[in-house]
Structure 1
Amino acid sequence: MRTLSILIFAGLALGLAGPASAQLLPRAPQLPGLPTVGGVAGDLLRPVDELGRDVTRTARRLAREQRGALEELVRDHPEVLEMTRDGPAVRSEIVAMDPDPALLAVIEAAGFAVIRREPVEDLGFELVTLSAPAGLPVDRAIARLRRLAPDLEVTANHLHLPSGVDSAGFTAAGTLAQRGGGGGTTIGLVDGGVAQHPALRGSIEQRGFTAGGLQPSAHGTAVASLIAGDGPVRGAAPGANLKVADIFGGARTGGSATNLVRAINWLVGGGVRVIAISLAGPNNPVVARAITEAHRRGTYIVASVGNAGPAAPASYPASYPESVAVTAVDSRGRVLIEAGRTPHLDYAAPGADMAAAHPGGGLTPVRGTSFAVPLVAGRLARHIGASDPLAALDREASARDRRYGRGLICASCRTPPPRN
C-alpha cells in the first residue's frame, strides 16, 4: 500500500521524500546524527557547526529535488506544460485580470489571441486567458504584454500541486463519494476528487473543474478523511459536511491557477467559510486576488507551507497574508524537516506518524504538511460562529512555541498507522 505525503514545490512545495507522497508518503528525508526530542542521540555531542552543516545540506538537497521533480514533470508533458522562471505552467497561456475591450484589441493586434473570457462573479473580477504568439515562451510573452500594457495585471497559468508528484496521488481506483443532505457547517476542500470510504459518513458534494471531470484521488481522499473522518479515521470535525472542488481530474498536469480560482469562487459562492488547500505553487497574482477577495467575504483559506524544505522559495497560497499558514509536526512534536517556509506561520498540527483513508477502503500512512492542513481547517470550522474564530482556535492550542506559529492544534488527532 502506498503512503501519502506532501512534497510540493515550496514555492510549489514538491519536495520529494520517499515511501509515497503528502499526499503519498515520500522517502523521509534523513538527517544523520540529529538529536531526537526526549532522549540523547549518539551524535548529540557533535560540534554544533557540524550539525548545522547537516541541516543546511539536507535543506538544499530537498530544494534541488523539488526543482528536479518539477522539471521532470514538464519534460514528461511538453504538449501541455512549459517551465517558467517561477515553475511549471500551462503551455502558451497567459492570464489577465479585468482588461478593458480597447486594451484587448491592442493585445490581439500584437499577435495574442483570446482563448476565453470568464467572470469570477462571486469574487468580483474577470479573467481573460490569452494564448501567446506561436513559438514565444510564456515568460517572454508576459514581458511583451507588460511593455504593451504596463498597467495590466498578467501572469502565467502556474500549476499548484499536492506534495509529491507521484501519479498515485492524482487518481485512484474507487467510487466517488457523493451524498447530499446534512445540516450544519460545510468545509471546503480544493484538491483531487474524494472516493467513498467507511470513515466518510457526512454529506459530500463534489464538482470537477477540468476537462477530465471528477476523478477519485488518493490525496483528496486522505485529506478529506482528516477533516471529516468518523470511524476508521478520526478527523478534526467528525461527520462534517464537505464541498470538494476537484482541480486535477485525475491528471498530473491539472491544478492550474485558473482552476484554483474557479474552485475558490464556487466555494465562496456556496457560502463556505473555511477552505482547506493542501497544495502549493509560486506567487501568482490571479490566485492572490482570489484569496484576498475570499478573505474580504469572510472565508478562511487554510493552506500548507509545502514540503520542499526551508531552502526552497516560499510556498503559496499559504504565504499570502490573508491565508492561514500551516506546518506539520511528527509524534514527538518536531516540525518536519521537509516543511517549507513562509513569511508568516499561523499553526502547526500533526502531519506524520499517522494514517488517513485510502481509496481502496483501508488506511495508508501519511506524512507531510498537506495532512496538517485538514486538521486545522476542521477545528477552525467548529469555531466559525464565534466573534473571532482564530482567537477561539488559539485557546484550543495545546502548545505554544515560535516553531508552531500561534500554537499546536489537534495534537491528539492522529490515527495510528496500519501495521505492516
Structure 2
Amino acid sequence: MPLRRPFATLVPLLAIALAMVSATPARAQVLGPVQGLPNVQVPDVGLPGMVPASPLRSVDDLLRGPLALTRKLQIDALRRSEPRRVDVDPHGAPILRGEFLATGLSTAQRDAVQASGFVVDRETPADATLGLDFVVLHDTRNRSTARAMRALQRAAPDATFTYQHLYLPAGHADVANATSSAPPSSSAPARRVGLVDGGVDPRDPALAHARIEPHGCQTATVSRHGTAVAARLVAGDPDTLYAADLWCGDAVGGATSNLVDALAWMAREHVAVINISLVGPDNPVLARAVQAMIARGHVLVSAVGNDGPAAPPLFPASYPGVIGVGGVDAHDRALPESGSGDQVDFCASGVFGSGRDALRGTSFAAPIVARKAAQLLDAPHAGAAAQVQQQLIGEARPLGAPGHDPRYGYGLLSP
C-alpha cells in the first residue's frame, strides 16, 4: 500500500521489524479454514504491534499510519476489528462471513440450499441490467466458512458458488481534513463520469461546479479516499459525477454484490467511463459483470493496486478490457508499491497534494486516466473500450521499455 515515508527509509525499518519477529516466540493464529483440510495452527509472522486492537470506525481508518503499508495488514485489522463479519477465503482474500454468491440456481437447487440452512438474503437488479443470474445467500447456522461452502456444494453439486469478496481502496488517505485546491473551471463541456468508491464530500473545492448523483446509501456519508479520487476525476469542471458508495460510513464494505450493483446502476444511467480505485481477488460474478459492461460499450478504468511489482495481479484491473493504471512520483518514476505486469496499461501521477497533506497510491493515478478517457467518449457504444485505449496509447508519453512496459504500461498520461 502507499507509503508515507521515503522507500529507502522504510526498508531498514521493515528489516528491524522482521528481526524482532525472528527474535520473538511465534504466536499461533487461526487463519481462515481451507476447504477439504482441517484447521491448522500456523505461526503469525505479521509485524508485531502494527495492527491496532481498537475497532475501525470507517474505511478511511484502514488507510492511515502503519495499516497503509500492506493490504495484508488491512485484512488483519478488519478481521480483528470485525471478527463476526469478516473472514478470509482459502487464499487469504477478505470476505463477508456467512455470505456467498450463487449463479444459475434452479428452483430445485434453491429449495435444496434453503433446506440446508441458507436463505436468499437479497437479489440484485444487476440480473436484469447486465444479464447476470446470481443471488446472495446467507448462512443461518453460523457455520465456519469452509463448512458452509461444503454444505452448499453438497446441497447443489451442479451449481456455482463463490465468496462475497471485499474490495479495498488502493490509496493512502492519512489526512484529518483532506481537501483539494479547486482549479479554475475549464470551458470544456460537462461530462458524465462514474466513480465506484467511498462517499464523496460535495463541499470539496474541486467538486464545487459538479453535480453529484449518489447511489448505494440511504444516508449520505463522506470518505476521504472517495472524495480525493473524485476531486482528481472531476478537477473543477461542471461534470455530472455518478458516485456509488460501497461503504456507507461503515468500516466493512466493498462487497462484490454491491460493486456489481453499482456497475449495473451506471449501465442504466448510460455512464460511459467509470473509475474504480479498488482492488481485490478474482471473483467469477464480478468477472461476468465486467465483461457485460465492456460488451455494452462502457470503459472501466481501475487502479492496479499497491502490493508491489512482485505481487500477483489484482482485480478488477486485471480483467481483459479493463484499463489498468499504475502510479508514478513527481519525477515520473514508478511508485515502489505500484503493481506490475500485463494488467498495467498506463501510468499517471500517484501523488496527490504536497507535504504532510499528500495522498499517495494507484488510487489517485486511475482518475487521471479515467478523465482522459471521458474526454474521448460521450456515450457507451460497442467496441468503445478498445477504441479509447488505442487513442490513449497515441497520447501517452512512453516510459521504460519500448512498447508495453510492465511498470509503466504504454506510457504516462498527464492531467
Q: State if a TM-score over 0.5 links the two structures.
A: yes
Letter in 2 for 1:324: I
Q: Could you tell me how far apart the structure 1 residues matched to 2:194 and 2:171 are?
A: 22
Q: Secondary structure of 1:199's match?
A: helix
Q: What is the match of residue 333 of structure 2? A: 334
- Of 378-387 and 296-305, deviating more is 378-387
1:71 touches 1:83 (CA, 8 Å); kept in 2? Answer: no
Q: What is the match of residue 29 of structure 1? A: 7
2:215 touches 2:242 (CA, 8 Å); kept in 1? Answer: no
1:206 and 2:210 aligned: no
1:157 and 2:164 aligned: yes
Gaps of 5+ in 1: 1-6, 8-15, 19-26, 35-60, 174-181, 231-237, 357-362, 414-420
Q: What is the match of residue 374 of structure 1? A: 367
Normalization by structure 2: what TM-score? 0.74
1:106 and 2:104 aligned: no
Q: Could you tell me how far apart the structure 2 residues matched to 1:255 and 1:293 are?
A: 20
What do residues 159-208 of structure 1 show as CA deviations (whole Å, max 9, x unaligned)?
11113687979x999xxxxxxxx974301000111112222233323324
Return the offset for 1:64: 8.7
Q: What is the match of residue 84 of structure 1? A: 89
Q: What is the match of residue 284 of structure 2? A: 285
Matches within 5 A, 1:12-411: 17-18=3-4, 27-30=5-8, 65-85=70-90, 86-120=92-126, 121-163=128-170, 184-195=190-201, 196-210=203-217, 213-230=219-236, 238-352=237-351, 354-355=352-353, 364-384=357-377, 388-401=387-400, 402=405, 403-410=407-414
1:63 touches 1:309 (CA, 8 Å); kept in 2? Answer: no
Gaps of 5+ in 2: 13-65, 180-187
Q: Could you tell me how far apart the structure 2 residues matched to 1:278 and 1:342 are?
A: 18
**Higher RCO (C-alpha under 8 Å, 6+ residues apart):** 1
Q: Could you tell me how far apart the structure 2 residues matched to 1:347 and 1:322 are?
A: 13
1:203 touches 1:241 (CA, 8 Å); kept in 2? Answer: yes
Return the offset for 1:153: 2.4
Normalization by structure 1: what TM-score? 0.73
Aligned residues: CA RMSD: 3.1
Return the offset for 1:404: 1.6
Equivalent pairs counted in the alignment come to 340
Q: Could you tell me how far apart the structure 1 residues matched to 2:307 and 2:285 are?
A: 23
Letter in 1 for 2:353: A
Q: Secondary structure of 2:7's match?
A: coil
Letter in 2 for 1:300: V
- Of 83-92 and 102-111, deviating more is 83-92
What do residues 293-344 of structure 1 show as CA deviations (whole Å, max 9, x unaligned)?
1011001110011112133332111111121111011111111111124542
Aligned pair in 2 of structure 1 residues 90, 269: CA closer, same or farther (>3 Å)?
Answer: same
Aligned pair in 2 of structure 1 residues 65, 229: CA closer, same or farther (>3 Å)?
Answer: closer
Q: Could you tell me how far apart the structure 2 residues matched to 1:80 and 1:166 are?
A: 24
1:229 touches 1:239 (CA, 8 Å); kept in 2? Answer: no
Letter in 1 for 2:303: S
Aligned pair in 2 of structure 1 residues 126, 405: CA closer, same or farther (>3 Å)?
Answer: same
Aligned pair in 2 of structure 1 residues 340, 260: CA closer, same or farther (>3 Å)?
Answer: same
Q: Secondary structure of 2:281's match?
A: coil
Q: Secondary structure of 2:270's match?
A: coil
1:113 touches 1:131 (CA, 8 Å); kept in 2? Answer: yes
2:191 touches 2:238 (CA, 8 Å); kept in 1? Answer: no
Q: What is the match of residue 182 of structure 2? A: none
Aligned pair in 2 of structure 1 residues 221, 32: CA closer, same or farther (>3 Å)?
Answer: closer
1:328 touches 1:369 (CA, 8 Å); kept in 2? Answer: yes
Aligned pair in 2 of structure 1 residues 28, 145: CA closer, same or farther (>3 Å)?
Answer: farther
Q: Could you tell me how far apart the structure 1 residues matched to 2:212 and 2:257 are?
A: 21
Which runs of 4 or more aligned residues in structure 1 lie more than 6 Å from their structure 2 counterparts after TM superposition?
Answer: 31-34, 61-64, 165-169
Q: Secondary structure of 1:405's match?
A: coil
- Percent pairwise identity: 36
Aligned pair in 2 of structure 1 residues 324, 272: CA closer, same or farther (>3 Å)?
Answer: same
Q: Could you tell me how far apart the structure 1 residues matched to 2:174 and 2:215 are?
A: 18
Q: Could you tell me how far apart the structure 1 residues matched to 2:116 and 2:248 are?
A: 34
Letter in 2 for 1:406: Y
